[in-house]
Structure 1
């Protein structure tokens, strides 16, 4: 691995020469790219040179960490900022590569009206009373989608109400194809493809004062068991969801594996993070926790020295470079319930195309992650999934109507003429 070795030695001239012929995406036996090594060793010149030549920021090594995670661990703000910008740029490029395929899938999917109901509930009684519900109305015509909703977002025990319309117009350029209308205030906001400098800096602040988290949902042991009904004579549960007959299943064996690195956090950071986590686990969220969230940082190691492990040393399996790791691992079993119907007119893979478009709404990301599981036969017309430690979401596809191609007027998927642009109406989108 000549490129890796040159980065290890900090030979910037040699790195520059090798980038003409070497594959910048190549991974060594530990899954590290040259960018991983440059970040972990604090070789800032090498980092910027590799980024300029398209080194991937999203690629994970054998331990499950990408270069951005290693940069946060090391603690150099300039490096974190550079990698975060490149991470977002590469994410946008990946989405743009998928755009033609997504538009073609929408063309092939018939036009429709779909009604989707969200109910959030909790085993904490006082919390359950104040949780929101929402009915989303989704309209699809050609390569255009409109979703009317009253719930702006739901995350970390925060939500915002309104009369909103989310519009995707596939006929327009990517940078203007996504827009949110506030029908009460008569304003609209385009969902930006790129963040402002202030937004990047704020995100870096949060990254530097938070755990570095690697989480994955393991479904190797997933099980589906038919739900039963009846006190004396037990039988499989089948009920109507809207106009669709559905078979109910209990889902087990879903394991959420989480690893948190915190070697870059100060004692004050750890204290604030614990207060925030405790408030969430009790079902309450204190905004003062977030307002005082940004704390002191631990400076980067002044002279990072690589660990040299002998062949007989257990560390030889994973020779970590840079700051010594502090990792907390947790595993949590999740349970869910799903009602599957063979009568629903849309295939599940087509639903994923629609959900990918409305992914800026964070609670829809949870739904999309779930329906990507290997579910029983049919369409999941009702789902109950955990979205926070004390909160479960029940999602019901309660109505579907096919539409003719000329049913919706073109103006239905455009910004009304009397609406004014407010680029900061929805800061989280």
Structure 2
């Protein structure tokens, strides 16, 4: 009897999927005490991702039924649901979304409970997180808001107060809300939104024992996915590097390494280079009719929106493929699982891909303090994890601070949020006295009242007012912004039946781009009325607004060039003075 291939022994699930041996796969999954069901192969795919990519749908169903994670992306950052949509099988897409939403809800509830339990064992604290938003778009920085989140932590209870509620129309919406996380009497995580203006308390218990069928997508919810582009957005930090900033011309006289005082703490200032904000879209699954419709939609955009998209780095990528080696029978499982076997350019397994990539380079900045009263790992990251599930801003921050950062505490961080918007987050006023906060000699007392629902508030525990947590991806948000069919359970994204709980501040990056540019046009022209987004795009195409807008772009570029030349000239003069002083000694 021939010995099994080393690749088969190393990746038994992948081998069974590749060869479509369903009986063997069933046997492996029934006896998988030592089997890693979500193991990634040398090409960056889990067994589930491989099954979807090569259209072995029955193998994919067996893996999902056994608990394979339906949210793990491949190395190009496409999710399992993205790949499923690309295959064009509506019934299978619905099955993937169903499993994904159920897993996100149950695993998210478990993760939230673990975070709260972890916080129970660390010191209580209060701090403020100051968010300042900015943009390279002319005039948009003036319209970008700031917000100060007040963070209270006592035991396993967390409360975050905020005044920035959402971004609607072409305006940032202010409010007065508190987000509370705590453990219920049954031990489940509980998420509460206090709307202090409306005096409403929306209560959501995040359970990990929900019924699977509660997350079944609504009929017709998949059609919009299949007829629009597939998108993914992420911050690419594969080649990130941290380096100390210099003092400019002072570097001629000193060591050149920059330090700044932030909220009373001496901080090293470091730049993170090779940080790219990336959005990718796939078109290979679209029919000719869908492509024509999308082309018409792009043609209807204002000149300003189109011009800004062109200013970003948009290009075809090496992810585009023309040959499907698996369909052609031109590759064996041994070759596929061999990390040293190279595919020819334009070749891969799975259907041919057509991808457009938009990328912007950013320089993230860190202000790191060697000594700080809070622990990033034990106190801050668990709270950022909690907020990340209902705030795209915190989700970006969470992804960044989970990197291998330099030693110290990041008292201030500047990171990209969208292609045109960055955020500077500063921690401040740790354990300062105030409402619910009583400083002690070497600790702080946070009053229990901070985590209670105030008397007289209407309690909404059925989701009727659209508060609560969803587990969305970019396609979920894009579909909702286009007006696609979505319902929502706690899982929400695929249109699950039951409890509808969409947060109002989740918007796709393209939608944010459109609204931000419209806001810039309002600021620059001064004549555009406040209109719904569609009407505002039409209004922004007026000749007067376009002329003022591009004149502003030109003037800002001229001013930036002038300042840069002056700085370079000053540096050169200082260099000459220093050299002259050396020769005259």
Shared fold (TM-score, shorter chain, > 0.5): yes
Between 1:133-142 and 1:184-193, the stretch displaced more is 184-193
For residues 218 and 313 of structure 1, do their structure 2 counterparts lie closer, same or farther at Cα, with a shift above 3 Å needed? Answer: closer
Q: Distance in 2 between the 1:387 and 1:370 partners?
A: 11
- Select 1:279's aligned residue among 305, 309, 328: 305
Q: Is the 8 A contact 2:163 2:177 kept in 1?
A: yes
- Report the 3-state secondary structure (helix = DSSP H, G, I; strand = E; otherwise coil) of the residue aligned with 1:400: coil
Give the alignment of 1:122-201 within 5 angstroms.
122-153=135-166, 159-173=172-186, 177-191=190-204, 193=206
Q: Is the 8 A contact 1:147 1:167 kept in 2?
A: yes
Q: Distance in 1 between the 2:219 and 2:397 partners?
A: 27
Q: Is the 8 A contact 2:192 2:201 kept in 1?
A: yes
- Select 2:91's aligned residue among 78, 83, 92: 78
- Kindly state the Cα deviation for residue 320 of structure 1 after the two structures are TM-superposed: 1.6
Between 1:402-411 and 1:111-120, the stretch displaced more is 402-411
Q: Is the 8 A contact 2:267 2:368 kept in 1?
A: yes
Give the alignment of 1:238-387 within 5 angstroms.
238-256=259-277, 259-265=280-286, 266-268=290-292, 270-271=294-295, 272=297, 279=305, 282=308, 306-309=327-330, 314=343, 319-321=348-350, 323-329=351-357, 332-350=360-378, 351-359=380-388, 360-387=390-417
Q: Distance in 1 between the 2:306 and 2:167 partners?
A: 13
Q: Distance in 2 between the 1:210 and 1:20 partners?
A: 37
TM-score (norm 2): 0.59
Who is 2:30 aligned against? 20
Q: Distance in 1 between the 2:219 and 2:413 partners?
A: 35
Q: Distance in 2 between the 1:174 and 1:273 partners?
A: 50
Q: Distance in 2 between the 1:276 and 1:74 partners?
A: 30
- Report the 3-state secondary structure (helix = DSSP H, G, I; strand = E; otherwise coil) of the residue aligned with 2:229: coil
Between 1:337-346 and 1:215-224, the stretch displaced more is 215-224
Q: Distance in 2 between the 1:34 and 1:251 partners?
A: 34
- Report the 3-state secondary structure (helix = DSSP H, G, I; strand = E; otherwise coil) of the residue aligned with 1:185: coil
Who is 2:4 aligned against? none
Q: Is the 8 A contact 2:126 2:152 kept in 1?
A: yes
Give the alignment of 1:91-130 within 5 angstroms.
91-99=104-112, 101-130=114-143
Between 1:144-153 and 1:399-408, the stretch displaced more is 399-408
Who is 2:232 aligned against? 213
- Kindly state the Cα deviation for residue 372 of structure 1 after the two structures are TM-superposed: 2.4
- Report the 3-state secondary structure (helix = DSSP H, G, I; strand = E; otherwise coil) of the residue aligned with 1:125: coil
- Kindly state the Cα deviation for residue 166 of structure 1 after the two structures are TM-superposed: 0.4
Q: Is the 8 A contact 2:242 2:273 kept in 1?
A: yes
- Kindly state the Cα deviation for residue 338 of structure 1 after the two structures are TM-superposed: 2.1
Q: Is the 8 A contact 2:268 2:367 kept in 1?
A: yes
**By percentage of residues, which structure has more strand?**
1
For residues 221 and 111 of structure 1, do their structure 2 counterparts lie closer, same or farther at Cα, with a shift above 3 Å needed? Answer: closer
TM-score (norm 1): 0.78
Q: Is the 8 A contact 1:226 1:248 kept in 2?
A: yes
- Kindly state the Cα deviation for residue 395 of structure 1 after the two structures are TM-superposed: 1.5
Q: Distance in 1 between the 2:46 and 2:176 partners?
A: 47
Q: Is the 8 A contact 2:102 2:215 kept in 1?
A: no
For residues 225 and 208 of structure 1, do their structure 2 counterparts lie closer, same or farther at Cα, with a shift above 3 Å needed? Answer: farther
Between 1:198-207 and 1:81-90, the stretch displaced more is 198-207
After superposition, give the CA deviation of every residue in 1:1-29 in whole Å (9 maximum; x if it has no partner): 68667766777677656643465556666
Q: Is the 8 A contact 1:210 1:273 kept in 2?
A: no
For residues 63 and 399 of structure 1, do their structure 2 counterparts lie closer, same or farther at Cα, with a shift above 3 Å needed? Answer: closer
Aligned residues: 408
- Kindly state the Cα deviation for residue 128 of structure 1 after the two structures are TM-superposed: 1.9
Who is 2:431 aligned against? 401
Who is 2:502 aligned against? 428
